[in-house]
Amino acid sequence: MSRLPALNIIGAGHLGRTLACLWHRRGIFAIGGICNRSVESSEDARAFIGAGTAVAGLNAMPPADLWLIAVPDDQIATTAKQLAPHLPADRQTLVFHCSGALPAGALTACTPAVLASAHPVHSFADPERSLTELAGATVALEGEASGVTHLESAFRALDCHCIVLSPEQKLLYHTGSVMACNYLTVLLDLSLQTLAAAGIDGDTAQKMLAPIVLQTASNNFTLGPERALTGPLVRGDIETVSRQLKALENLARREPESTTLAETYRTLGNAALPLAKRAGLSDTARRQMAALFSAHLNDTAP
C-alpha cells in the first residue's frame, strides 16, 4: 500500500482544521504537525481533525510533502520566511496558502519549494457544519502548475469544483466574493438594526427575514439579478423611496449612531439604478431616482 502524502498545518483555525479533517477522513493526506499560536490551540485542532501531532513551534514540525499556511493574510509572508529554513533544498515540497486576495508569490521565501494558493468560496464560520457543507463549493487555484494540479486533485476529492486564476485575477475575484458573502452579512445586520428601530425584537426580525432573504438568494441564482430585483425602486415608486429616506434621516437625527443606515440606503439605491434600468425602470423614473439620491447625498455632505 502506498504512503499517503504528509500534510503539515501552520494555523489550524476554522479553515485549516476543516480541510485537514476532511482530507484525513477521505484518506487523501496523512496529517502531520499542527502548529498554532499555543499548544492548547494546536491540541484543540488535533482533537477536531482526529489526527496529527500538536507541536509548540516550527522547530518541532516533522518533515512533510505539503505545508498549508492558514494564518491571516498579513502574516503569510512572515510565516513563509520563518518556515523557509525548515524546508528541504529541493522542489519536492508543496507550500500553499488559502488567502483569496494574495497570490502564491506571497510565499516566495519558501522557494525552491513549489508554491500555490487555494481559496475555497465558502464560509468557515462553523467548522462542524463546514464538514458537511463544503462539498459543491468552488475553489480558486493559482500558482505553479504542478502545485495547482496537486491541489485540484485534493479538492476534487472533497467534491469541490475548481477554477484556475492568474495572480492578476485573484484580487478582483476575492473582492467579488467579499461583496457577495461578507457584505451580505453586513447588509443583513443593518436590516436588523432598522427593524429594531421599528420596535421589532431580534428573534422576530430574524424569523421574518429568513424566508424572504433565502427566497431572494434563490431567485438571484435561478432567475438572474434583473428578474430577481423587486421593490419600490424597480417599480419607480419615488414617493415611497423618498419617505423611506426621510424616515432613516429622522432616525439618524434622534440616534446619531444610526447614520450608517441612511448612508447605506442612498449608496445602494444609486448602485441599484443601472440594474433597475435593465429590469425595466423607465429613463424618466431613473433620472428622478438619481436626483433624489443625489439631493440627499448633497444635503448631508460636510
User: Is residue 123 situated within a structural domain?
Assistant: yes
Given a contact cutoff of 8 angstroms between Cβ atoms, the answer to whether 57 and 85 are in contact is no
Write the CB contacts of 171 (distance below 8 Å, at least 6 apart in sequence): 101
191 and 266 part of one domain: yes
What's the pLDDT score for residue 39?
Answer: 94
CATH number for the domain spanning 156: value is 3.40.50.720
188 and 296 part of one domain: yes
Question: Is residue 274 over pLDDT 90?
Answer: yes
What's the pLDDT score for residue 24?
Answer: 98
Question: Is residue 272 over pLDDT 50?
Answer: yes
What's the pLDDT score for residue 91?
Answer: 81
221 and 93 part of one domain: no
Cell of 164: 484556475
21 and 161 part of one domain: yes
**DSSP strand E in 102-252: where?**
114-120, 138-143, 161-164
Write the CB contacts of 136 (distance below 8 Å, at least 6 apart in sequence): 159, 160, 161
135 and 204 part of one domain: no
Amino acid found at 48: F
End-to-end CA distance of the chain: 71
155 and 190 part of one domain: no
17 and 150 part of one domain: yes
Average pLDDT of 173-198? 95
Domain boundary among 117, 145, 170: 170
Domain that holds residue 281: 182-300
User: Is residue 237 situated within a structural domain?
Assistant: yes
60 and 209 part of one domain: no
53 and 138 part of one domain: yes
143 and 223 part of one domain: no
41-73 pLDDT, tens per residue? 999 999 999 999 999 999 999 999 999 999 999
Average pLDDT of 260-283? 95
Write the CB contacts of 77 (distance below 8 Å, at least 6 apart in sequence): 106, 107, 108, 109
User: Is residue 238 situated within a structural domain?
Assistant: yes
Q: In angstroms, rounded to a whole number, what is the distance separating the alpha carbons of residues 52 and 45?
A: 9
23 and 133 part of one domain: yes
144 and 198 part of one domain: no
**Predicted confidence band of residue 2 (pLDDT cuts 50, 70, 90):** confident
Question: Is residue 192 over pLDDT 80?
Answer: yes
pTM: 0.86
User: Is residue 89 situated within a structural domain?
Assistant: yes
Q: Are strands 66-69 and 94-97 parallel, antiparallel or unpaired?
A: parallel
Cell of 229: 430585483
Q: Which helix (H) or strand (E) holds 68?
A: strand 66-69
> Contacts from 38-41 at CB under 8 Å and sequence distance 24+?
41/12
**Predicted confidence band of residue 296 (pLDDT cuts 50, 70, 90):** low
What's the pLDDT score for residue 149?
Answer: 98
Average pLDDT of 226-233? 95
What's the pLDDT score for residue 151?
Answer: 98
Question: Is residue 169 over pLDDT 90?
Answer: yes
Strands of the sheet containing 30-35, edge to edge, are: 53-54, 30-35, 6-10, 66-69, 94-97, 114-120, 138-143, 161-164
Given a contact cutoff of 8 angstroms between Cβ atoms, the answer to whether 4 and 25 are in contact is no
Given a contact cutoff of 8 angstroms between Cβ atoms, the answer to whether 151 and 118 are in contact is yes
Q: In angstroms, rounded to a whole number, what is the distance separating the alpha carbons of residues 84 and 111?
A: 8
Average pLDDT of 219-224? 96
User: Is residue 175 situated within a structural domain?
Assistant: no
Domain boundary among 131, 149, 170: 170
User: Is residue 1 situated within a structural domain?
Assistant: no
Number of domains in the chain: 2
What's the pLDDT score for residue 252?
Answer: 94
Average pLDDT of 273-290? 95
Domain boundary among 130, 145, 170: 170
